[in-house]
Amino acid sequence: MSTTTVILGGGIIGLSTAYYLSLQSPSEKIHLVESSPVLFSSASGKAAGFLAKDWFVPASSELGGLSFNLHRRLAEEFGGREKWGYSPSVSYSLDQSATPSPGSERGEDWLFNGTSRAQVAKDDGSNVASKPKGPTWITHKGAIRKISDLESTAQVDPYRLCQFLLEQSQAQGLQLHQPAKATKIIAADDVTITGIKIVSDDSIELDIPCDSLLIACGAWTTLVYDTLFPKATRTPKIISLAGHSVVMKSDKWATPADEEGGCHAVFTTHPLGFSPEIFSRIGGEIWLGGLNSSTIPVPELATGVEIDEKSIKDLVQVGKELCGDDVEVMREGLCHRPVTRTGIPLVARVEEKWLGGVKGKVYVASGHGPWGISMSLGTGWVVSEMIQGKKPSADIKGLGRF
């Protein structure tokens, strides 16, 4: 007997779940509901696309490792290098003023205090170079440290990866409702969840049958959850860490020959008071970000963001300092990344006693912060397993704290 899963949120977490669920359970009917009139308008389309294998705290380490391997496997199976720019990557920590100290494994406090996630890399301190030998597209000054090799970090273009996952899922029967919002739970005898009421952008209402519900709405997760479960006794606390970014071109990273040794990630600091992160991508692009804020309001829709021109100006200044005055800015971005107060993602089934009087299979997957792209495929895989009643392939017991 076929069942129906409704996924709220058309970003990379929702799409990864839809993709793997459609493969693992072909008879499952899957509906994806996305509120934005433009797909991938927030973090799923505008993030850096940096992937790491083992840069995670213990609670999320198995999920991170599983996801990294799934990224590699998917790219090998479907030609990911050509389709979404998958490439192994080498990571560096750049100190422009002095010899850096070795990185150390620690918690996720760097999310909120403005320091660099390079500090969670598993660096043994053996790669300090007195004369920098990092990427040729970095016109750096100072000491550079290699903190990962081609086996433990990688790079993708998240926008193109999302497009691929959507196309593959739709080919398996996924039904996309976009733009549309979930407005109400439908429950038999006001108790057992049997469906979800959605309303389209042109005010047309539709009732969708629902045996399993996944809320994966990024920075909008708490708002959606509270709308559907107004009497809930416990709510997932997802907040936003907004980040500006620019995508640039450089003559120093422009040809296939430049890409033969893989992509690069460079983590550094800047006198402006933030920790720039810069990534080269297949296809000649360089992504620069790291200018983050937890105070920028989350708009009603992902397309409603308002880019701060001063932030972009600061990033361009940093880009020229790091890569040379000849860099050309191709795109500007502002995305709202979902985070929890602990910095650890939330991937769990919601206990029925918390739902406020209704019963059903309700799941939440959000709060991945800047690791959303990296952990996306693993999250989709384990959530798909949970929906099917299987034991997750990664230990996620520590990711269920509301």
Top-confidence residue, 258 or 277: 277
pLDDT tens readout for residues 357-379: 999 999 999 999 999 999 999 99
pLDDT at 123: 56
Instruction: Enumerate the β-bridge partners of residue 31.
Output: 6, 175
Contact assessment for residue 222 and residue 235, using Cβ atoms and an 8 Å cutoff: yes
Percent of the chain with pLDDT over 70: 90
Q: What's the CA gap between 162 and 340, in Å, rounded? A: 23
| 87-155+239-339 is classed CATH 3.10.290.10 | no
**DSSP assignments along 99-121, one per residue:** PPPPP----STHHHHS--GGGGS
pLDDT tens readout for residues 58-117: 999 999 999 999 999 999 999 999 999 999 999 999 987 654 444 443 345 555 554 556
pLDDT tens readout for residues 29-60: 999 999 999 999 999 999 999 999 999 999 99
Contact assessment for residue 330 and residue 248, using Cβ atoms and an 8 Å cutoff: yes
Burial of 308 (0-12, 13-18, 19+ CB in 10 A): middle
Mean pLDDT of 220-226: 99
pLDDT tens readout for residues 336-358: 999 999 999 999 999 999 999 99
Structure tokens at 19: 């993709």
Domain residue ranges of the chain, discontinuous segments joined by +: 4-44+160-234+344-399, 87-155+239-339
| 4-44+160-234+344-399 is classed CATH 3.30.360.10 | no
Instruction: Output the CA–CA distances (angstroms, integers) from residue 129 to 125, 135, 260, 268, 322, in the order listed.
Output: 10, 13, 22, 15, 18
Can you tell me which residue has the tokens 């100290």? 101
